[in-house]
Structures are given as structure tokens and as C-alpha cells.
């Protein structure tokens, strides 16, 4: 499958050569192997925009163009209710944008591979263009599409599938990128300039087609539940309630007192015409690209204040969602970035352009002039780094175990699978570790007749480390969703250290997902006569000066003592604390976002009694505690 990158476009930015520590902008290059003849099918997935869309620019050179979005259960099942709302509104805007240029957006339901095969046959397509993916399941779907297209016959032969990506950095050879973010930054790769679709009219199709009707939210709900098994329907309900909500209900049903500080403190969105918060919950920015760009302009200008109602609303949301410095950006714009309503490099471009406006064209090498600018730039640069590393690992996967990527709430999570048949086993690591810490156990478990999954949870190893508030309940919800979305059946689950406490939470809240539980040197306490269940809110875990300083001291200490500390973890097999393991832990310590994860240590709440969590599964628990 060919990979597309695209033509030179001049940058609108002044020269930055005087500031070598600041990433510079670079024109985007084009190497396009597509022979632009016949009909192209442009398959939209997580790229719901016409702005900064390299594939749309390339597709505009074909004789005819057919854009399509397929409502595929395998893709939609990963989306929250709010994300589904955002998806529908983004598709509405995308269809309008395409119609304004003489085209349209076809809407279809079903498995994308079958839909695209049938459509390619009907319109005699010569090419299918789709965005490159790093998520394992989506890569499989693309591969099936590729295979199905071989059975389609057109005068030019079988249609080709061409993969594209939006280049953020000027990367000439992905495999030569350093695995350490610290070393990567030293390359000072320029950031490419966003593209504008230069054509006012897109090519249409000559034959009469049924373009389909954009569904309502209720239509999507009905589609998602129409053919699910009964157990699948129950599992969908499992994902709807937060861990805190279920824990609270469980404690009340058992007659235990709940201690927590103040009320939920959630801010209700104010309904205003022209609001950029378009869903019922009103937690995230959505709508079309222009709507998101308007919200981004308001976010970046937070310090200026404004008389505009729509911008005031954004500023209110910033204050409500700034649970730690910079966390508001991911909270407000993360879903729009995940759906591709706006590109990462567009965010970077707008942030740097505003920084120049604030400083009369000057860009300081000592940092940005506003916290919101820094938050936006840091977030998209971090997201791009993890995406590049995930793509590199997927295309160079020659290790003992296959590494896979799962996307959770827009964040990239690494995991592995071994074994073909038997019961499902899930291995969960401890703090600072990753799935490879089970590398001596995975094959043995698989060879003894199990299917084994090992996951690297959010914030560790090669999984993404976003600027969010990390809590034990957040990680428990991640494990719940992994079992539901990836494993697809109840599991025998193993947890080490804090991973043991996390799997205990999963077992205590969603016992239907657990067949048995193994706790190895688990964190948490057994309190025989507990009188209350302590729960705390995310708002109660604000970053303090002590945690800010403590995380930096801790990181320095861990880097200096990694080898010594690891050997203590392998007292009888010291050789397993080998150079690879030590180097991988040191590599991960330089990843963007690692300090945010370390800050969370100072606000962990491990005081929910383990015996309370294990009440419903106590006959299925094995505890291994080394003293």
C-alpha cells in the first residue's frame, strides 16, 4: 500500500532561524504515486474535515470523486455517547462543506470492507484513499478492504488502496527516528504548514447514486444494539456508569457510610445560541472545523478576556476543567482532535501564530507567553510523538511478541496477545512498569492453554501520557473498557503492585467481567472493621507545589537508581533486570507527560479497603504477598 505525502506550500511565518531551540515551520512536500484517473473513493474515518486534508487535495485531481463515511459497529463501539454526538455533528458539517464545493458525503451502514467493495464495483473505482491508522483493529479492517478490492474488476485492473497521513514533522525515514523523546527533540525537526483546499469545485460522479441520509443519535443507538448479543447489551450498560458512581451505589447498598468532600461540583453548560459546546453534556468542543477553530481562538486568548458570549463560555470551561495546569486543553479539544475535526498541526500553527501576534513577531526561546499556548503546543506535539512511535512499532514489529495499539478515549494504549485457544487471561503491571514485565510469563501461560493479553496502562511504557489527572478509578475504567472492547469476554486477571489494587477495583465494581483474580504484592490495605468508604473527586487532586517539586526529585532519583531498584524486584533472578529492561525504563522516563504521571503519586487514594472490593469475588481470589 502506498503512503501519500503532499506538495510544497509556502509558509506564512517569519523566519525563525535566530531561535534554534524553537521548532520551525516547513513547507509540506508531495510525493504522490497515484495515477489520478478514473474514480477515487475517499473513505473518511477519523479525519472529518476539509481543512488541512492532504488526501482531499490529492483526490480532487481525479476525474470523479466519491467521499464516504461508513457507520461500522466495530469502530463506533469504542465511542462514548458524547463522542457519538460529536461525530454526527461533525459529519453534518463535513457534508455541508463538501456540498459547497459541488460534491457530497455518502452515508452507509455496515462493515466498511463490504460497503467499500460493493461501492467500488458500482462506480468502477480505480482507487480507494484512506487515512493511515495505528490502532490494531482498524489496521485489520483496512487490510480486509485491500483484499476485497482484489476481487473488483475495472478497466484499469483492481482498485488500489492508498494510505495517507497529515505530516506534522518533516520525517524522511520513520525507522531512523530515535526511540527516546529526549533524543528526538535534539533533531529539531521543522513542523509542516497546514494545507488549504485550493479548488472551489470538487469533481462529482457521473452516475446516479443514493447518497444516504445522515442518521439521528437515536438511529445510531438502535443500529448499535440491533444485532448485539444479550451479554453484549449488558456490557454496553457496564461502560455507561463511571467507577465512582458504581462504587457509591455499591457502598450505599451494603449500608456503608461514604466519606467525600463536598458535592459533585460539576458545572452545567449554559445554553446559548452559537455555543461551541454542542452536546447534551456540554463538556467538549464540537461541531464543524470552523466551530472548533473559533473555540481554539478563545482558548488561546484566555488571558485577554472578552465580551463575546461564545468566548466567555470557553473561558468558563477552562476554569472548570483546569484540574491541573494545562489539562483543560485535552479535556475540551481532545475529542475533536481524535475525530479529526481539526488537525494537530492546525492547532500548532494557530497557537504559534497567536504567540507571534502577542510578541510583535518575536518568538522567545525561553517558553511561551501564555499557559494556554503552552498547553495546546505541548498537547499536540506529545500526541504526534506517540503516534509516530506507534506507527513505527506497527511497521517494524519483529520482536518475540507482537505489539498492538488500542485507542482509549483518543489515547494510544499498547498491549500484546499470545495464545490461540482457552480461557482469557489479562496481565496488569505495577507503577512505572509496562506489559513487557510479564515477558517471562506470557508464553508459559499461552502454551498451557490460555489466551493471554498484557496491557501497558495509560501513562506508562510506550502508552500515551496525556496531561490528565491520573487516578486509580481512571485506570480501573481503562481496564474495564479493555476487557469489554478488546478481550470481549470475562477474564482471569492478574495484577502486580498498584496493578493489583486496580484489578481489585475492577473486580469489586464490575464482577461480571472477572472469572478469577490473582494479586501479586498488591497495593492497598485490608481493614477488617471498616466503617466508611472513602471516595474523592478529581477536583480534590489538584497539583500542589509539593507534588510539583516532589515529582521532579523523584524522577531524578529513579533515573539514577533504576538499575539498583530493578534488581531488588528480581531477588532470585537478578539477571532478569537486564540491560534491555533498564534501558526501556530509562527511555520511558524521558517521554512527554511523564512528570504529570509522577505527580499523581502524591494524590493517590488507595484507602478503599481491598476486602470491601473483593466481597463479590472472594472465592475466586489468590493473593501472593512476598514479605
pLDDT tens string 235-250: 767 887 888 888 878 7
What pLDDT is recorded for position 457?
Answer: 97
Q: Would you call 296 helix, strand, or coil by DSSP? A: helix
Q: Is the pLDDT of residue 15 over 60?
A: no
How confident is the model over 175-202, as pLDDT tens digits? 899 999 999 999 999 999 999 888 789 9
User: Please, what is the end-to-end C-alpha distance for the chain in angstroms?
Assistant: 54
Residue 561 vs residues 421, 568, 577, 598: alpha-carbon distances, Å? 41, 11, 13, 16
Rounded distance, CA 548 to CA 53, Å?
A: 39
Q: Are strands 411-418 and 403-408 parallel, antiparallel or unpaired?
A: antiparallel
Q: Is the pLDDT higher at 324 or at 376?
A: 376
Q: CA nearest 511: which of 278, 333, 246?
A: 246
Residue with cell 469533481: 203
The residues near 370 (Cβ < 8 Å, ≥ 6 apart) are 300, 302, 303, 355, 358
pLDDT of residue 63: 93
Residue 104 CB coordination number (10 Å): 20
Q: CB under 8 Å to 510, separation ≥6 — which residues?
A: 238, 246, 480
More confident residue, 10 or 535: 535
Between CA 286 and CA 293, with CA 289 as vertex, the angle to 5 degrees is 85
Q: Which residue has the higher pLDDT, 168 or 365?
A: 168
Q: Give per-residue pLDDT as tens, 502-515.
A: 999 999 999 999 99
pLDDT at position 10 is 34
What confidence score (pLDDT) does residue 542 get? 67
The answer to whether the CB of 575 falls within 8 A of the CB of 446 is no
Q: Residue 564 is inside which H or E element, if any?
A: helix 545-569
In angstroms, the CA 497 to CA 293 distance is 43
> What local confidence, expressed as pLDDT, does residue 189 receive?
93
Using one digit for the tens of pLDDT, what is the confidence trace for 519-569? 999 998 888 877 667 776 666 666 677 888 888 998 999 899 888 888 887
User: What is the reported pLDDT for 299?
Assistant: 97
CB 519 within 8 A of CB 503: yes
More confident residue, 262 or 568: 568
Tens-place pLDDT, residues 384-443: 999 999 998 876 555 556 889 999 999 999 999 999 899 999 999 999 899 999 998 999
* pLDDT average, residue stretch 75-100: 94
How would you class 219 by CB atoms within 10 Å of its CB: exposed for 0-12, middle for 13-18, buried for 19 or more? middle
- pLDDT score for 115: 97
User: Does residue 589 have a pLDDT over 80?
Assistant: yes
Give me the phi and psi of 49, to 5 degrees please: -160, 165
Please give the grid coordinates belonging to residue 353.
501564530
Give all domains of the chain, ordered by start, each with its CATH number.
Answer: 36-169 (3.40.50.620), 289-385 (no CATH), 389-624 (3.40.50.1820)
- Residue 271 scores a pLDDT above 60: no
The Cα-based distances of 210 to 72, 108, 111, 129, 230 in angstroms read 18, 10, 18, 20, 33
Which has more pLDDT, 532 or 299? Answer: 299
pLDDT of residue 40: 95
Amino acid at each position: 500500500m502506498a503512503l501519500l505525502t503532499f506538495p510544497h506550500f509556502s509558509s506564512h511565518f517569519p523566519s525563525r532561524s535566530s531561535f534554534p531551540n524553537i521548532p520551525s515551520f516547513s513547507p509540506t512536500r508531495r510525493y504522490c504515486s497515484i495515477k489520478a484517473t478514473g474514480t477515487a473513493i475517499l473513505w473518511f474515518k477519523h479525519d472529518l474535515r476539509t481543512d488541512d486534508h492532504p488526501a482531499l487535495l490529492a483526490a480532487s485531481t481525479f476525474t470523479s470523486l466519491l467521499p464516504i463515511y461508513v457507520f461500522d459497529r466495530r469502530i463506533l463501539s469504542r465511542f462514548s455517547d458524547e463522542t457519538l454526538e460529536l461525530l454526527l455533528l461533525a459529519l453534518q458539517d463535513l457534508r455541508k462543506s463538501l456540498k459547497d464545493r459541488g460534491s457530497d458525503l455518502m452515508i452507509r451502514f455496515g462493515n466498511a470492507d463490504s460497503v467499500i467493495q460493493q461501492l467500488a464495483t458500482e462506480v468502477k473505482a480505480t482507487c480507494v484513499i484512506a487515512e493511515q491508522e495505528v490502532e490494531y483493529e482498524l489496521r485489520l479492517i483496512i487490510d480486509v478492504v485491500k483484499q476485497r478490492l482484489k476481487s473488483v474488476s475495472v478497466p484499469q485492473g483492481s482498485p488500489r488502496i492508498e494510505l495517507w497521513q497529515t505530516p506534522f514533522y518533516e520525517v524522511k525515514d520513520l525507522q531512523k527516528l530515535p526511540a527516546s523523546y529526549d533524543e528526538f527533540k535534539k533533531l529539531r525537526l521543522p513542523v509542516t504548514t497546514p494545507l488549504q483546499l485550493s479548488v472551489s469545485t470538487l469533481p462529482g460522479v457521473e452516475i446516479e447514486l443514493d447518497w444516504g441520509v445522515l442518521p439521528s443519535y437515536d438511529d445510531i443507538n438502535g443500529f448499535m444494539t440491533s444485532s448485539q448479543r444479550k451479554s453484549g447489551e449488558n456490557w454496553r450498560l457496564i461502560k455507561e456508569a463511571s467507577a465512582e458512581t458504581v462504587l457509591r451505589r455499591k457502598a450505599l447498598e451494603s449500608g456503608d457510610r461514604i466519606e467525600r468532600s463536598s458535592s459533585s461540583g460539576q458545572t452545567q453548560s449554559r445554553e446559548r445560541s452559537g455555543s461551541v459546546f454542542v452536546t447534551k453534556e456540554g463538556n467538549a468542543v464540537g461541531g464543524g472545523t470552523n466551530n472548533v477553530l473559533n473555540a481554539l481562538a478563545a482558548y488561546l486568548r484566555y488571558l485577554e478576556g472578552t465580551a463575546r458570549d461564545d468566548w466567555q463560555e470557553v473561558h468558563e470551561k477552562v476554569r472548570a476543567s483546569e484540574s491541573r495546569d494545562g489539562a483543560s486543553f485535552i479535556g475540551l479539544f481532545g475529542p475533536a482532535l481524535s475525530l479529526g475535526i481539526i488537525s494537530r498541526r492546525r492547532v500548532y500553527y494557530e497557537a504559534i501564530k497567536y504567540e507571534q501576534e502577542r510578541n510583535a513577531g518575536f518568538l522567545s526561546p525561553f517558553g511561551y507567553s501564555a499557559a494556554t499556548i503552552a498547553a495546546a503546543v505541548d498537547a499536540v506535539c506529545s500526541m504526534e510523538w506517540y503516534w509516530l512511535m506507534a506507527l513505527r512499532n506497527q511497521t517494524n514489529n519483529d520482536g518475540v511478541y507482537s505489539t498492538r495499539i488500542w485507542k482509549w478515549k483518543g489515547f494510544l494504549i499498547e498491549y500484546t496477545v499470545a495464545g490461540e485457544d482457552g480461557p482469557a487471561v489479562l496481565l496488569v503491571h505495577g507503577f512505572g512498569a509496562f506489559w513487557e514485565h510479564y515477558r517471562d510469563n506470557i508464553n508459559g501461560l499461552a502454551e498451557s492453554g490460555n489466551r493471554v493479553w498484557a496491557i501497558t496502562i495509560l501513562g506508562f511504557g510506550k502508552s500515551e501520557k496525556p496531561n490528565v489527572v491520573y487516578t486509580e478509578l481512571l485506570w480501573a475504567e481503562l481496564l474495564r473498557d479493555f476487557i469489554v472492547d478488546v478481550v470481549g469476554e470475562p477474564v482471569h486477571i492478574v495484577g502486580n503492585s498498584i496493578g493489583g489494587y486496580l484489578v481489585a477495583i475492577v473486580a469489586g465494581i464490575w464482577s461480571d467481567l472477572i472469572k478469577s483474580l490473582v494479586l501479586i504484592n498488591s497495593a492497598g490495605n485490608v481493614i477488617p472493621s471498616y466503617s466508611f468508604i472513602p471516595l474523592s473527586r478529581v477536583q480534590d487532586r489538584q497539583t500542589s507545589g509539593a507534588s510539583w517539586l516532589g515529582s521532579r526529585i523523584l524522577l531524578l532519583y529513579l533515573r539514577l537508581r533504576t538499575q539498583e531498584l530493578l534488581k531488588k524486584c528480581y531477588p532470585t533472578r537478578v539477571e532478569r533486570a537486564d540491560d534491555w529492561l533498564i534501558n526501556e525504563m530509562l527511555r520511558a522516563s524521558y517521554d512527554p507527560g511523564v512528570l504529570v504521571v509522577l505527580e499523581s503519586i502524591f494524590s493517590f487514594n488507595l484507602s478503599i479497603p481491598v476486602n470491601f472490593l473483593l466481597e463479590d469475588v472472594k472465592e475466586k481470589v489468590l493473593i501472593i504477598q512476598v514479605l
